[in-house]
Amino acid sequence: MSEIDVSVAGRLSDRVAIVVGGGQTPGETVGNGRATAVLLARAGATVVVADRDRGLADETVAMITAEGNQADAAELEVTDDDQHRALVERVVSDHGRIDILHNNVGVSIAGGDADALELDPDTFDRLWQINLKGVWLAARHAIPVMREQESGSVVNISSMAAKLAYPLVGYKTTKVAMLGLTENLAATNADYGVRVNAILPGLMNTPMAIEARVAQGTPREEIIARRDRLVPLGRRMGSGWDVAHAALFLHSDEARFITGIALQVDGGQGLTG
């Protein structure tokens, strides 16, 4: 699915955004994090693209600056509390504020996820460290800045795997837990003017979703056709741009009275049970 052709200019003027996971798995399409970073910048935000792979973050920044928008890159291991602290301190020092925190990091197949009776305990712990603890650590350091400003928006990327049958226990359980974390942060920070929401992408044609399955030996065309058939709306998967536009809405003033929600971006897949 191609990029959505609508004007977003000015919707986030003068905002400063951190997009955690703003690089992406290499592949033929755009990932949720990269698309979101590009779109927030098009809307006027200065975007700090954080990723464990600095080179991938630099690629996203290059895409943003090539369009005449503002961004810089940061290397971040999401399981490291000190690195989160240093990133927030750097952003405040460089830009004076943090208006948006967008948490897009998550791993499943590529991280060794498996059936509940087959998953290695150390792998289970690692998945929870990346998929949930990393989100909490980012919020732990960014939200105090937002509290002082009495404004801010956090969006956590969960998954429709939290709502539907999903065979891999690590991804399923961490994405369910992320909804609880989102609700907790929303409830405890509303008095400070900080909004916290979640997005649940459904079947997306993104590198994270496709490339790991291709690497396991299934032909790309077969993977795409099988996933397309499961989407009621148009019998076609969504793209990173669909997630990015949902994120732009939640981060914008248009969503100023919305907090604690889990927004399904799934082409109606949730209606099928």
Q: What share of the chain is helix, strand, coil (3-state, %, to 5)?
A: 50, 15, 35
Spatial CA neighbour of 101 closest among 145, 35, 65, 59 = 145
Q: Which two tokens stand for residue 91?
A: 């952003």
Cα(48)–Cα(58) distance, integer angstroms = 10
Choosing from 56, 171, 242, 259, which is the catalytic residue? 171
Q: Is 243 helix (H, G, I), strand (E, B) or coil?
A: helix
Spatial CA neighbour of 44 closest among 255, 273, 252, 264 = 252
CB neighbours of 202 closer than 8 A, spacing ≥ 6?
160, 231, 237, 238, 264, 265, 266, 267, 269, 270
- Measured between its terminal Cα atoms, the distance across the chain in Å is 24
166 is catalytic: no
Q: Which helix (H) or strand (E) holds 95?
A: helix 81-95
Cα(24)–Cα(197) distance, integer angstroms = 22
Cα(9)–Cα(39) distance, integer angstroms = 9
Check if the beta carbon of residue 20 is closer than 8 Å to that of residue 101: yes
| Burial bucket for residue 134 (CB in 10 Å: 0-12, 13-18, 19+) | buried
Buried b (16+ CB within 10 A) or exposed e, 22-46: bbbbebebbbbbbbbbbbbbbbbbb
Catalytic residues: 171
